[in-house]
Chain A
Amino acid sequence: MGDVTLFGVAGAVLAGLGVYGLIASPQPLRKILALNVLGTGVFLLFGVVARRGAAAGLGADPVPQALVITGIVVAFAATALAVALTLALTRAAGSASLESDAPAVGEDPGPPR
């Protein structure tokens, strides 16, 4: 089973990279990219689990694979919404940084509805 654990380690490393990118990269687009890398890492974990569960004549356990397919589609929908939000934010505020919003005590950041 040597190579399956290799896949597991690779998935875990990709997840770690995704977490690093999520924390350290400043622009939202790079954070979305990092989230996708983290997602693929987690899906590879499902892949390893499926592969270890190979039985009854199947190369891998079909249930985790189905979960991954659903996960990929949901992750794509999330990416699409996040990218659309980033574009809208850039259009509305000029720059798409996440930081400059902390309303310091005292100043009134515009009338919310």
Chain B
Amino acid sequence: MITASLFDIGLAALVVSVAAFAIVVRDTYSAVVAFVAYGLLVSLRWVLLHAVDVALTEAAIGSGLTGVLLLSAAARLRGGGAPEPAPPSVRVRALAAACGVAVTAGLVGAVLSFPDPAPTLAAPATEALPATGLGNPVTAVLIAYRATDTLLEKVVLVLALLGVWSLAGDAVWGGRPGAKQRADPDGILAYFTRRLVPVGLLVGLYVFWVGATHPGGAFQGATIVAAMWLLAMMAGVADVPPVARPDVRAILVAGAGVFFAVGLAGLAFGDAFLAYPAAYAKALIIAIEIAMTATVAVTLTLLIAGAPERTA
């Protein structure tokens, strides 16, 4: 823990400069491309912070899916031909810069004033691990110790998806999100997709499975599965399912539903809501994770697909 190594300083400077470029550059499309690169660099920094789980999530969701979302939106908006709104006056930009500096200074001052023996919950987390039957402490926090946050977060995802769907016109309600993908069936994209998707699914399932003991878990696995499904859709191999299909709705609520079911079972029979009886804690957690992976994969894909636009 000698002074920060040259690599760290270099990476930090690089991340900040890419972020600054993404914020300041005039053209939106290049800003989004810069943002995707920025996302990957941040994932690298998470590895340096010994947070591999977070690095995986950041790479998959933070830069991957968010990048796809912003890129497709930028492409659509760029085509719109709407006149670029005038950039704000110099005075506003100066004040904004001052606010940015103030926020940075405040946060740096706060970080520097942290107490030296840093308070941590690492010890109690590891001691309680055997009770959950899990190896990876981060997954244990997500699924056991702070299970309510994850549970509520599932409901947040459902609401976000319904919010996106609510922007559809009444005429196309229940239809398929996103424009019809016109990719030629035997082009290189379709060929590449048919080869990659099975492998990708396998990797996703593996990342999900290994999450119990090593970095990985439901979110990361689900994101890889979602990426594969998106690839298939873009390649025209598969089409986005219509919004009104009951089985799609069922999958979307399965994750949170199973979580609640197990939680309420704990309330009724076990000793507390969301408490897993020691005997089959492992089995229950696996069941929850499976349902969660399926739900998150479908939800993330449909979030990117957007509001229903066609009934065909």
Q: Which residues of A contact B (CB under 8 A)?
A: 1-3, 5-21, 23-27, 29-30, 32-34, 36-37, 40, 43-45, 47-63, 65-70, 72-81, 83-88, 90, 94-97, 99
Some 22 contacts from A to B, beta carbons below 8 A apart, are: A3-B5, A7-B12, A7-B45, A8-B107, A8-B108, A15-B103, A16-B100, A21-B23, A25-B87, A26-B88, A29-B28, A33-B32, A40-B38, A47-B54, A56-B126, A61-B121, A65-B51, A66-B141, A73-B153, A73-B219, A88-B307, A95-B83
- B111 & A50 in contact (Cβ 8 Å cutoff): no
Interfacial residues of chain B within 158-176, with CB under 8 A of chain A in the complex: 160, 163-164, 167
Check A51/B303 contact, CB under 8 A, given A24-B93, A73-B153: no
Bound complex: CA A103 to CA B309 (Å): 30
- A55 & B82 in contact (Cβ 8 Å cutoff): no
Contact bitstring B100-136, A, C-beta under 8 A = 1, else 0: 1111110110011010001111110111000000000
Bound complex: CA A88 to CA B309 (Å): 11
- A27 & B28 in contact (Cβ 8 Å cutoff): yes
- B287 interface hit (Cβ, 8 Å): no
Q: Using Cβ atoms and an 8 Å threshold, which residues of chain B touch A20?
A: 23, 96-97, 99-100
Check A29/B122 contact, CB under 8 A, given A24-B92, A62-B137, A77-B156: no
Q: Which residue of chain A lies nearest to B160 when distances are taken between CB atoms in the complex?
A: A77
- B69 & A83 in contact (Cβ 8 Å cutoff): yes
- A34 & B153 in contact (Cβ 8 Å cutoff): no
Q: Using Cβ atoms and an 8 Å threshold, which residues of chain A touch B20?
A: 17
Q: Which of the residues B51, B82, B140 comes within 8 Å of A47, measured between beta carbons?
A: B51
Of A37, A62, A72, A79, most B-chain CB atoms within 10 Å: A62
Q: Which residues of B contact A (CB under 8 A)?
A: 1-5, 8-9, 12, 15-16, 19-20, 22-23, 28, 31-32, 35, 38-39, 42, 45-46, 48-51, 53-54, 57-58, 61-62, 65-66, 69-70, 73-74, 76-77, 80, 82-88, 92-93, 95-97, 99-105, 107-108, 111-112, 114, 118-123, 125-127, 137-138, 140-142, 145-146, 149-150, 153, 156-157, 160, 163-164, 167, 219, 296, 300, 303-304, 306-307
Shortest beta-carbon distance from A48 to chain B in Å = 6
Check A60/B50 contact, CB under 8 A, given A74-B153, A85-B167, A86-B73: yes
Q: Which of the residues B9, B31, B39, B107 comes within 8 Å of A11, measured between beta carbons?
A: B107
Of A57, A60, A95, most B-chain CB atoms within 10 Å: A60
Q: Using Cβ atoms and an 8 Å threshold, which residues of chain A touch B57?
A: 68-69, 72-73
Q: Using Cβ atoms and an 8 Å threshold, which residues of chain B touch A65?
A: 51, 53-54, 138, 141
- A72 & B122 in contact (Cβ 8 Å cutoff): no
- B121 & A16 in contact (Cβ 8 Å cutoff): no
Bound complex: CA A95 to CA B86 (Å): 12
Bound complex: CA A9 to CA B88 (Å): 28
- A66 & B31 in contact (Cβ 8 Å cutoff): no
Bound complex: CA A72 to CA B127 (Å): 27
Bound complex: CA A103 to CA B93 (Å): 26
